[in-house]
Amino acid sequence: MPDKKSFIVSLHDAHPGSRGQIAEQVAFLAERGVMRSSILVVPEFHHGASAGGDAAFRDAVTAWQAAGHEIVLHGYFHDRKESPRETLSTVFWTRLYTNREAEFLDLPREAAQDRLARGRKLFESLGWQASGFVAPAWLMAAWVPGILAEMKFAYTTTLKEIVPLGAGDRPEAVPPIASQSLCYSARASWRRFASAVWNKQLFQQLRETNLVRLSLHPRDLEFPLLRRQIDQIVRSAVKRGFEPTTYGEYVAR
């Protein structure tokens, strides 16, 4: 159904330390009629506690999946502790665009493969069905999607695209779906202000299309300016007939 309007909300950086914030976002969305989202779980956020080692977090994620949310693999460590040294060509992405979180930007191939395999194994052991992988800060080496396809992930996403990987019963990869995600930069007040101005404009464009993507990070709802705008965008999208779905379901449609 090409005319159907879809609304994909993704909740980034779920890990034991952000469980309360993600739970609040899930409730915030539900109050506004969005019962499904894609929840991006980091196996060992910043080399900290394992997602599988914290019973409260494990139970929360399992319950979200049972309620219709999708669980997505989001990096492994979400940091650059074991990454190669920054070079002139990567320093913009690693230090200015992100706060040293671009884990999959320049890892050696074997290390990337190893982390993907470990993440997937952890998810499987917990009963979480990860059909998608999203790299921290959406930044990854050009060869990462090829590895993901080999490992039968169904899709990945970037800031500007959803990338189906042609896994499973779809032998040929389908072309990427262009659609820029709404996304806030909350780590400084000027960034919050600038991103609110930018996202307001972007939403005005997106609401004329068939797909609205909204990416939330754990602290976004803590800032009144962002909370107000996210509230407006979610309500407006639902009112305009955008149907809440997940990335996994959207790609499989």
Which of 6, 8, 10, 12 forms a contact with Zn ion (CB under 5 A)? 12
Min dist. Cβ of residue 26 to Zn ion (A): 17
- In the complex with Zn ion, the residue whose CB is nearer, 13 or 44, is 13
Q: Does 80 help bind Zn ion (rule: CB under 5 A)?
A: no
Cα–Cα dist 120/128, whole Å? 9
Sequence-distant (6+) residues with CB within 8 A of 112 are 104, 141, 144, 147
Q: Does 13 bind Zn ion (CB under 5 A)?
A: yes
Number of residues that bind Zn ion (CB under 5 A): 3
**Which residue's CB is nearer to Zn ion, number 133 or number 242?**
133
Residues 118-157 that bind Zn ion (CB under 5 A): 136
CB of 221 to Zn ion, least distance (A): 16
DSSP state of 98: S
- Classify residue 13 as left (phi > 0), alpha (psi -120 to 50) or beta: left
| Sign of the alpha-carbon dihedral angle for 148, 71, 6, 78 | negative
Q: Measured between alpha carbons, how far is residue 45 from residues 6, 41, 181, 213 in Å?
A: 30, 9, 23, 24
CB of 34 to Zn ion, least distance (A): 20
Considering beta carbons, is residue 136 or 248 the nearer one to Zn ion? 136
Structure-token pair, residue 164: 């189906």
157 vs 229, which CB is nearer to Zn ion?
157
Minimum distance, C-beta of residue 23 to Zn ion, in the bound complex (Å): 17
Nearer to Zn ion, 12 or 19 (CB): 12
Which span (13-21, 143-151, 184-192, 204-212) binds Zn ion, by CB under 5 A?
Answer: 13-21
In the complex, what is the shortest distance from the CB of residue 50 to Zn ion, in angstroms, rounded to a whole number? 17
CB of 133 to Zn ion, least distance (A): 12
Phi–psi pair at 219, nearest 5 degrees: -90, -5
Question: What is the x/- site pattern for Zn ion, positions 152-191, by CB under 5 A?
Answer: ----------------------------------------
Can you read off the two tokens belonging to residue 115? 């982390």
The CB density around residue 158, as the number of other CB atoms within 10 Å, is 17
Write the CB contacts of 82 (distance below 8 Å, at least 6 apart in sequence): 111
**Shortest gap between Cβ of 101 and Zn ion (angstroms)?**
6
Q: Name the region of 193 (left: φ>0; alpha: ψ -120 to 50; beta: rest).
A: alpha
The binding site for Zn ion (CB under 5 A) comprises 12-13, 136
